[in-house]
Structure 1
Amino acid sequence: MPGLSSGPSLDGELTAPRFRAARPDDANACAPLIFASGVREFSFFLGQPAETCISFLAFAFASRSGRFSYRRHRVAVNADDCPVAVLAMHDGRHTWFDDPHVALILLLFFGLIQTIRMLLRGLILESELLAPKSAQTLIAHCATHERLRGTGVFSALFADAMQASVTTRQRKRTASGSHAQQQLVLDVLVSNTRAYDLYRRLGFVELPRRAAMSPRLPRELESVRMEWLGTH
């Protein structure tokens, strides 16, 4: 992401990326990547300069709970074990506390007055970027270090995350006796044709739009929701 010096270093070579669950100490490396995954969305929601948005995301990433928590993220790392790509997975069966938690961390970081304004903008933004239903898992915060885009790192991270998710679901089904399938979805800005094309190659298809875009949202935040049908 041009102009931001707080991103991960690429001093460690990436001859063969490794993948792992994110950790709290990945916050400073992952926060710029997460911001890069939705610069327009975060700028609208938080209404702050890029550096402040990144500092907030690092603060929130270190939390054990919520949609920005390290526990929701998986990363690709270089030879120095530094994250160079990231994605989050939000299981709709376990996101009921996300909104109260976001309000809490906003309050802790920004104070009451700014938090109220941010939450009001967040409600508008959520009319376009819908929270996952209980039968859905939402993929979010998809980003790769700018020098590694187009190298296949994110595709490999996505495949690894899908495999890890399948293993986890199989273990939970065995324990509970349930055979329900989660619908895998993500959102992408209409203007982000590069990401849209990547998601198509990964096996996502566009879903029909259910409602008109809110007139209170900038047109640049128009998005489409896509569903994963699997690799072909």
Structure 2
Amino acid sequence: MVPAAGRGERLGPGAPKALRELGGVPLLVHAVRALARSRAVGLVVVAAPPDGVAEVVGLLDSHGLDGKDVRVVAGGATRQESVRLGLAAIPADVPVVLVHDAARPLVPVEVVDAVAAAVKGGAGAVVPAVPLADTVKRVEPQPGGRPEPVLETPDRSSLRAVQTPQGFRRELLAEVHERALAEPELTVTDDAGMVEHFGGTVVVVPGHEEAFKVTRPLDLVLAEAVLARRRASDGF
């Protein structure tokens, strides 16, 4: 599943982030292809902007997707709502669900495979992640760009930067989204965080440095360079 109903304002005004182009192809198409390359994936559901479903259908139809079943549904006002609506479009007999950011267009297929395998192996919730390269400081936020006092320096060896796709047992993902409806004030940045909030266990598998999120203009420049290298080496 790919929730792609957001606008992604940090890339600047214009088209929704998922429809911005990378190497002449929208980020969303790259993300769907990344999932479709995995033999573990039989269906990809895209949660599109409610007013852009027909546009996204046409966009995906115009690009080859290796014969995989791709369905487009209307997403919601929040990522959480889009995932819930996308989940409702997945057949009830599908036991494993992967949730992937449209803004991570270059995730290698081995990461997708590893997440799916971990869920099939018995984990309820799985996230790919990479070690942090930078030292991290926890600070006391200050308004207006004022200097921020450092509160502590966490041990970097125990920290990970989480990526997607995140994998879940279908019934677990459905359960936490249902429970979240009773907590409208709940704010989480990913589905794994929702599982943690309700007391579930999340495990980590190795991610990949090329599965970074395209959020800012500089990320798009880096993604273009990675894509150009891939195309030169293997016709990606």
Alignment TM-score > 0.5, same fold: no
User: Which is richer in helix?
Assistant: 1
Relative to the length of structure 2, the TM-score reads 0.26
Which structure would you say has the larger RCO, counting Cα contacts within 8 Å and 6 or more residues apart? 2
